[in-house]
Amino acid sequence: MASQPWNENEAILHSLQDDILVTNLDGTILKVSEATGKVYGVSSESLLGKSVYDLAAKGMFTPIATPMVLKEKKKITFVQTTNTGKKLLVTGIPVLDENGKIYRVVSYSHDVTELLELKKFLQTMEGEMERVKSELDLLRSRQLYDSGIIANSTEMKNVITTSLQVAEVDVNVLLLGESGVGKSLIAKFIHNKGSRNKGAFIEVNCGAIPENLFEAEFFGYEAGAFTGANRKGKLGLAELADGGTLFLDEIGELPLAHQVKVLKCIQEKQFYRVGGTKPISVDFRLISATNKDLLKAIQERTFREDLYFRLNVVPLTIPPIRKRPEDIIPLIHYVLDVFQEKYKREKRLDEAVLHHFLQYDWKGNVRELINLIERLVVISPATLITTEHLPDYIKASHSIPAPPSNLSKPLKEVLEDVEKQMLQRARRDYKTTVQIAEALGISQPSVVRKMQKYDID
């Protein structure tokens, strides 16, 4: 049999590695590349002259490019499935004649089976990651709850995130915040999450130790170091923290005369006991806390600048609870549960009590809230704690304007005046309508609607 004459177009077509197929308007295959047969598991020559409609009916592939291109009259791309289960990304292109009418349909494809499988795998993994993330978030929330830390607000979540980061390394941390915000609690949290959690957590209240006893308490003393000293001597707090965490609370209250000695101990991790001549080496991580403005104290020459920079490697500010209203109600319920268990008393808080708590400024922060809840659990005679059991200063923070003495105004107008004043006050105290809604015990859409009604910006 004589061989077919050489054809340049055919040679180019078969040299391509892609699957290329050309049909007429009836779907008859006119040309195919060598790669086409391999894609569908047959020889390319066997496809010539066959109808794509017949091949589709036999299950070789579906859907078909030719009718889709003829219908859309433009380039189309779709996913085709072959009889072997492969997934092909097929592109069909209309070929126009000199009159602008469709003359042929050319299609080419790429095997995307692995890509689609990978996509499916990634989607499965994303779902699994979300599940694991949810479980971790739940576990973390449970651990925080067990630690007495409530972190529903963005501000406290940021504090916890930073705390977990610094817990991994022995970096000096300076906790800042108002009195009672929970600096000691965060310090213990950092210690418990760090590698030194098996060691001791030694808390030193720098403002509570008398100035003349500070050195003896902090560094310890040798036997007979001074009159009245223990005959066996005494270990200092710094030495007790060896292998663990030394927490210097109220560091801003440390007398200036002792600051240089504490700085030397922090820098060198070495000190002398009172009356001692042998240096004592210690290895501890350092966390400090203060409610003072240390930069102002430096300007006033009551705090050493070099000590400040040594302490302030990673500053961490804990916000007051009035600036994180999302945490107040969960914190109240947590503290209530603690004292119910402690005093074996069942107590519930009336909704009006919660509204008062949300309005109150809590200048003493978490410490003040804890003390008040404990008092209410102990002194309230009934199971339900109502506003009549609250101290007067709490009630005053949620005062409602008195109605007019005469009846010159209809009741509806009086109620609207009260509602407007409460909304205006809440707008001053809270940043968002969500926070206002939580404080007033109504929905956020209601807040928006009422603020529009009373023309409150």
With contact defined as beta carbons under 8 Å apart, do 109 and 89 qualify?
yes
pLDDT tens, position by position, for the chain (457 residues)?
445 555 555 555 555 556 788 999 999 999 888 888 888 888 888 899 999 999 999 889 999 999 999 999 999 999 999 888 888 889 999 999 888 899 899 998 888 877 777 777 787 777 777 666 655 554 554 555 456 788 888 888 899 889 999 998 999 999 999 999 999 999 999 999 899 999 999 999 998 999 989 999 999 888 866 666 666 778 889 999 999 999 999 999 999 999 999 999 999 999 999 888 899 999 999 999 999 999 999 999 999 999 999 999 999 999 999 888 888 888 898 899 989 999 999 999 988 888 888 888 899 999 999 999 999 999 998 899 988 899 888 887 655 444 454 556 676 776 777 788 888 878 877 778 888 877 777 888 888 888 888 888 7
Cβ atoms 395, 356 nearer than 8 A: yes
Nearest to 356 by CA among 380, 388, 311: 388
- For 70-109, letters b (16+ CB in 10 Å) and e give eeeeeebeeebebeeebbbbbbbebeeeeeeeeebbbbbb
Q: Is 5 exposed, middle or buried (0-12, 13-18, 19+ CB in 10 A)?
A: exposed
CA atoms within 13 A on the CB side of 321: 28
Q: Residue type for 200, please?
A: A
End-to-end CA distance of the chain: 93
Coil, strand or helix at 81 = strand
Helix, strand, coil % in the chain, rounded to nearest 5: 50, 15, 35
Q: How far is the C-alpha of 455 from the C-alpha of 245, rounded, in Å? A: 55
> Which of 387, 404, 394, 397 minimizes the C-alpha distance to 426?
397
